[in-house]
Structure 1
Amino acid sequence: MHLILVLAPSLLLVSLLALVFQGLRQLRRNREQRGPRRRTPPRIGGLERNLLRQILRGARRQQAGLLLLSLSLMPPLYLSLEMPKQIVNNVLEPSAGPAEIYGVSLNQMQMLGLFSAIYLAAISLNGLGKYMLNTRKGRVAEHLLRRVRLLIYRHWRQRPPHQRQSEIVQVLGAEVEPIGGFAADLIALPVTQGGTLLTILLFMFLQDPILGAAALTVLPVQLVLLPYLQRIVNRLSRERIRAMRVLTRGLTGQLSPEQNGLEHIRQTAASLRELERIRYRIHRVKFLAKALNNFLTALTPFLFYSLGGYFVIEERITLGALIAVLAAHKDFSAPLKELFRYYQQLEDTRIRYRAVLGFLIERHGAPVDGTPEPDRA
């Protein structure tokens, strides 16, 4: 059992170091591919070349407010985890008797009412805080989305009519929409979900270090497999954007009477088949990642029931502590999934943002973020 206490954190540390090493290697590879630096304008069509700079440029105060509101959710969360344990151990146990709290003597019924009221207040505060956080996130997302769309539209209108791309509708709609959603989640989601994850882990370790380590056993495998699958999704997402641009241009060209022949119909059908093929591959990889994540997450309760049951029999921990750990682990998988979804959203939004910049610099030959010009449709 002590092997779990040592092995699980060690595997997690090795996985994190491997991810850091991989990120540094990718950063070095990107710098080597850039070659000598060229003087390039800091912005393209009013948009920053870097996605994070663009989000923070006009929303620093809003992001700071979201950060503070996210941190305020942690104390009620911990209290909502602790109170069920206190109710089971200090109220529902047959041996429980009257207790004195701050000089006031309370019987079992009074203690049950007090602890239940504290638990209700904790979950109410947590729910109210999440509601306020989500409404503010929506305001931040829509404000940034409107600014980005106006900048793209202004840049498009400044071009001569014969150079205005027909894909402007697609860019202002589907391609820009995820940027606003990610802007709202940029700081709030990792702080909220990461803080929730750390709070639950802290609670588990305080009940028993081995049970806390058991919750980390499958995390290293998730940290290795899921980013690998996400890189495949990123590559397919770039192919999907290019295929959609090809289809849009083909359909726009058919508005002309000269391009209504059978050849153009076949080209449209071929574009639709290619788009279907790419989207099907994306679905397969995404659902594979989801299935693996769900399976690995479901393995942890097995360790809790086996190890935790043994500890209760040996009287190393109380039954209330085991019930509290099981209830906490039920909430443990949700923030973990949200953090993996955030990673997927970050990569997808970066790809879409680079595609938007590629749309703005088309026919200008300017690089984006120091990398070669995005592929044209």
Structure 2
Amino acid sequence: MSLLDRYHLLVHDVAAAFGYDYNDATPDWVHPFIHLILVLAPALLITVGSYLAIRGILKLWKYRSTPALHTEPIRGLEKSLFKTVLRYSRSQQALMILVSLIAMPILYLTLELPKQIVNNALDSGRFPIAILGQDLDQVVFLMLLCGLYLLAIILNGLNKYGLNVFKGYVAERFLRRFRLLVYRHWRSDPDARNQSEIIPILAQEVEPIGGFAADVLALPILQGGTLLTILSFMFVQDPVLGAAALTVLPIQLVLLPKLQRRVNALSRTRIREVRQLGRQLSDQLRERQVNPAGLLPVSTSFRELERVRRKIFRLKFFIKALNNFLTALTPFLFYSLGGYFVIEGRITLGALVAVLAAHKDFSAPLKELFNYYQTLEDTRIRYQEIMAFLNKSIQPLGHAQPDNTAPQEAGQFERSKQRYPALSLVGQGAIATS
């Protein structure tokens, strides 16, 4: 038996495992879909997932095995962002996790009830039907299912509203405490008056850390649970269509993070330029008069900020367009292959409509999980920078490497390192786009 014959036998076995009779009588145009959905895309997904898992394990091992200088402990702050967040919001995190888990069965109802309405309430050949000992005609049964669907929508909306409001409370509470801890430590430094960087730190740079404090556990559980709930619903309707929903996922896992890292590098450059501009303006304010020689570096900073932000816009919108295109490919599979399954009687029209409706919400939690990873890297680096600023020494935090793209002017660079040691850490991690 040749290798090609073995491959075709493998495809037939996989299709049989998914409950699909894949044989020579199947139309020719269906064959490539079956190969792509049941064999090629899952193999690529397993390969990409294994690579990401191995890379994550190696990064964690490198992080733990890399020696780091012990920084001076800061009162009220842990070396790890996670430990600091859990130290001040452990009980609130547990409550948000509970509310997130409650949302999963409600979400499944919002997906299942439309299918029941199409398949059962609109089927006029089986009425009246008995529900809890009561005979219901078609209109009453339709109104009953629609009422349950409305109730599920209301409960889902109330759950999200309550969770978001509580997350805002947790974020602001942690942000206030974090700002106060940083401010107190800064005030205790006898040279604090010479550190003008404390203003953008307390006003802007701590904001993402406060927002992340509310999402650190609740967001991956809520969005990951939403993703698994929608995917499970699709597999229940038809395993082949459920597998089709994962067809473009490997491409998204490979391309989108790489492009996003380029955006992150530009965002780090923008942050560095904003800080440098702030130092230049602060120096001019301390001189109490406008120095004509200071106009050139300020104008150069404005020009560099414009150039960087234009690059960020181009990349961001390219990523958005690419993601929208990849997301639109899956409904194409649903309409073509799913429509064929409806004609053949493999699935019902209501199931196909429900799968299409579910897929509309499938990309949203996946996008939120991508954003969570970027935000995680962003806040981790910001937290390390603030800790390094408070310790007033360049520390090899984690797997950070020195940034080789710092300002080239020697005098300005040396003064920047003395005032803000974290500039040497800016080149690490992923800074989410603003």
TM-score by length of 1: 0.92
2:338 is aligned with 1:308: yes
Shift of 1:45: 5.6
2:275 is aligned with 1:245: yes
Query: Against the structure 1 CA distance between its residues 270 and 28, is the aligned structure 2 distance closer, same or farther, given a 3 Å change threshold?
Result: farther
Contact 1:98 1:107 in 2 (8 A): yes
Shift of 1:249: 0.8
Q: 1:368 aligns with which of 397, 400, 403?
A: 397
Contact 1:357 1:368 in 2 (8 A): no
Contact 2:277 2:301 in 1 (8 A): yes
Match of residue 351 from structure 2: 321
Match of residue 212 from structure 1: 242
**Residue type at the aligned position of 1:140:** V
Distance 2:241 2:330 in 1: 10
Distance 2:189 2:422 in 1: 20
Match of residue 109 from structure 1: 139
Distance 2:61 2:314 in 1: 31
Contact 1:69 1:133 in 2 (8 A): yes
Distance 2:83 2:157 in 1: 31
Distance 1:231 1:291 in 2: 17
Matched position secondary structure for 2:125: coil
Match of residue 44 from structure 2: 11
Q: 2:286 aligns with which of 240, 256, 259?
A: 256
Distance 1:346 1:244 in 2: 22
Contact 2:386 2:422 in 1 (8 A): no
Contact 2:85 2:213 in 1 (8 A): yes
Match of residue 278 from structure 1: 308
Matched position secondary structure for 1:160: coil
Shift of 1:233: 2.6
Shift of 1:292: 1.4
Q: Which moved more, 1:351-360 or 1:130-139?
A: 351-360
Distance 1:334 1:365 in 2: 39
Contact 2:263 2:316 in 1 (8 A): yes
Identity of aligned residues (%): 59
Higher relative contact order, structure no. (Cα contacts within 8 Å, ≥ 6 residues apart): 1
Shift of 1:367: 4.2
Q: 1:350 aligns with which of 373, 380, 388?
A: 380
Q: Report the count of equivalent residues.
A: 373
Matched position secondary structure for 1:57: helix
Match of residue 28 from structure 2: none
TM-score by length of 2: 0.80
**Residue type at the aligned position of 1:224:** V
Shift of 1:291: 1.6
Shift of 1:209: 0.6
Contact 1:205 1:212 in 2 (8 A): yes
**Residue type at the aligned position of 1:375:** L
Contact 1:74 1:199 in 2 (8 A): yes
Contact 2:69 2:395 in 1 (8 A): no
Gaps of 5+ in 1: none
Root-mean-square deviation over aligned CA pairs:
2.1
Shift of 1:174: 1.4
Gaps of 5+ in 2: 1-32, 402-420, 427-434
Shift of 1:2: 3.8
Matched position secondary structure for 1:159: coil
2:147 is aligned with 1:86: no
Shift of 1:289: 1.8
Matched position secondary structure for 1:281: helix
